[in-house]
Amino acid sequence: MAEVSEHTISALVEDLPGVLTRVTGMFRRRGFNISSLAVGHSEVPSLSRMTFVVQGDEGVVEQVTKQLYKLIDVVRVSDISQEHMVSRELALVKVKASQASRAEIIQLVDIFRANIIDVASDLMIIEVTGAEDKIDSLIELLRPFGLREMMRTGRVAMARGATATGGRPVSAAATAESAPDVEAVP
């Protein structure tokens, strides 16, 4: 059996109605497992960027990539886990914070370079950004205080350096009007 591991796949897609359904529908019907999915605008106004975290061996990831490419609205796909990448996730955590525990929570927030963005008499909302494992550990530390609500965005990732996510160098002229790197996609 080939080795199963976690892959971060980034896809540049047309910003059109239904594109998310097309992508997730394809994942579902082909039995691919997505553990995280994040979608948002890209540097080009008509394109969105999706980041998937997929579990599977090389064969599965190759099929995921190829099947994504088959969708007409998908412009570019790359497995950036092979490249040097930075990845981040954001979480909002609503935690119980009594008079007694508040100081301790603030200390944890400082250590994790998280932010307190709302305070009520017995609750706080904490915002934390980072790699998944960092967020996981903060959540574990906060859990004993009483987690009331939690919301995580899923991973967003980007290749380091001069390569655009997807392996092509970013052109200086990659503006909304010209976007030559995207037009030249194979």
Interface positions with other proteins (CB under 8 A): 13-14, 17-18, 21-22, 25-26, 29, 59, 62-63, 66-67, 69-76, 182-183, 185-186
By beta-carbon proximity to other proteins, the closer residue of 58 and 149 is 58
Token look-up 């955590």 returns: 93
In the complex, minimum distance from the CB of residue 58 to other proteins, in angstroms, rounded to a whole number: 10
For other proteins, the closer CB: 162 or 184 = 184
C-alpha 106/C-alpha 116 separation (Å) is: 8
Q: How far is the CB of 19 from other proteins (least distance, A)?
A: 10
Characterize the bridge pairing of strands 74-79 and 115-119: unpaired
Q: Using alpha carbons, select from 51, 99, 60, 55 the residue that is nearest to residue 78.
A: 51
Considering the complex, state which of residue 41 and residue 66 has its C-beta at the smaller distance from other proteins: 66
Please give the DSSP secondary-structure letter assigned to residue 145: G
Q: How far is the CB of 65 from other proteins (least distance, A)?
A: 9
For other proteins, the closer CB: 68 or 128: 68
Nearest partner of 40 among 117, 144, 155, judged by Cα:
155
Least distance in Å: CB of 69 to other proteins?
Answer: 7
Beta carbons within 10 angstroms of residue 115's beta carbon: 12
The candidate with the shortest Cα–Cα distance to 20, out of 44, 42, 35, 37, is: 37
Task: Identify the DSSP state of 173.
Answer: T
Which lies closer to other proteins via its Cβ, residue 59 or residue 172? Answer: 59
CB of 185 to other proteins, least distance (A): 6
**Cα–Cα dist 30/64, whole Å:** 9
